[in-house]
Amino acid sequence: MSFIGPNWQSMKLLGSKVQSRITMIDAGIPVCPGMKGGSKDFDEFEKVALEIGLPVLVKASDGGGGKGMRIVWKLEELKPAVEAAMRESISAFGSDVIFLEKYIQSPRHIEFQIACDKYGNAIHLNERECSIQRRHQKIIEETPSAIMTPELRQKMGEIAVRVAKAANYDNIGTVEFLLDKDLNFYFLEVNARIQVEHPVTELTTGIDLVKMQVKIANGEKLQYSQSDIRQMGHALECRIYAEDPENNFFPSPGLINFFQEPKGIGIRYDNGVKQGYEVPIHYDPILAKLITYGANREESRIRMINALKENVILGAKTSTAFMIEVLKHPEYIKGNINTNFLQDYSINAKPSEPILDAALAIAGLKPELPKQRELANNNSSLQSNPWLEIGKWELY
């Protein structure tokens, strides 16, 4: 039996932000200034913070999804942040190993898709821009990045491949970087798996990444060299979350009363829910991934806005209306985005125009009431009355 993924040694190394950071420093990969390894000594945290200058970022070595992470702007905030990060890291990951690095203000989050076989061959499949985030988690991803030039893509792509080789990586993965306003980039981490946003790479390269990882796991050599990789058009992905943007993106569990999937040219929709599904409180609130493809960024953006309007989920609150407002923002349209975009600009959680027409609004129905159904069936004077037959209903 073969595991579809990288070898365990690479996973163990890259699963630790501290160990991977040490490995990349030794390999000459650019990383954010900060501690080389983890520590539990507060005096060391204070010393490094003073050396590299505030603000700094306290991070959990085994963390992910923004957990165990704290930004420190003032020295007196450092100790409480270190203690809080340790507690959260133990609770979420079973480890209290944390470290400190320079906080790069308003960077762009750029990641490179990599593919490596078991014979030392490695390539990248271009970048994805993942800068639109809330709580250090991605909301909207796209490729190509609006900031990218051929020269920068080549430079960052080559470093991404060097990262993979330094970790003896095999299979599909993602090398993540922070890119500052001066186009300096720093290694962040490697996600040793195929990621949520992989469809945008598939649409713009024409390569099935899931099929590729299965072939690599089966012992096959990469069938592509770096010169074979081409980028065609532009793709966007929006993560449809069951959460309330008006309440600091608080999770919004509940029954999905009505569900409509967007369809059309250039639209891909990956989802794991359906009408009548109960969104639980126990897991990540992502419901679906909506991906659009166009000849260029603007076509992909307009197509995404229209598709989001057609993606009707009634019952649990979702982030669709909020993402429409992000995509319509003048700075987003210009490509001026960074990881602080949502903090820098006031984005309305409520849409400026109605997403649903009356017919769709009426279709958001609650479960039928047996007495109303019985009344409709027994009323001989009515051939058909949908207002009685559908059960209890209300306009949203």
- The residues assigned a catalytic role are 193
Pure H helices in 176-224: 198-205, 209-217
Listing DSSP states for 50-67 in one string gives: HHH-SSEEEEETT--TTT
My answer on whether omega of the bond before 144 falls inside 30° of 0, hence cis, is yes
End-to-end Cα spacing for the chain: 51
3-state helix, strand, coil in the chain (%, to 5): 35, 25, 40
The vertex-338 CA angle with 336 and 342, nearest 5°, equals 100
Distance CA 45, CA 101 (A): 9
Going through 180-303 in order, the beta strands assigned E by DSSP cover 185-191, 234-241, 243-244, 250-251, 254-255, 258-260, 267-271, 278-279, 286-294
The vertex-19 CA angle with 184 and 219, nearest 5°, equals 95
**Angle of helix 198-205 versus helix 209-217 axis, rounded to 10:** 100
Distance CA 260, CA 274 (A): 9
Report the greatest alpha carbon distance in the chain: 85
Listing DSSP states for 289-348 in one string gives: EEEEEESSHHHHHHHHHHHHHH-EEESS--SHHHHHHHHHSHHHHHT---TTHHHHS---
Residues 6+ apart with CB under 8 A from 53: 102
Do the strands 312-314 and 171-179 form a parallel or antiparallel pair, or are they unpaired? unpaired
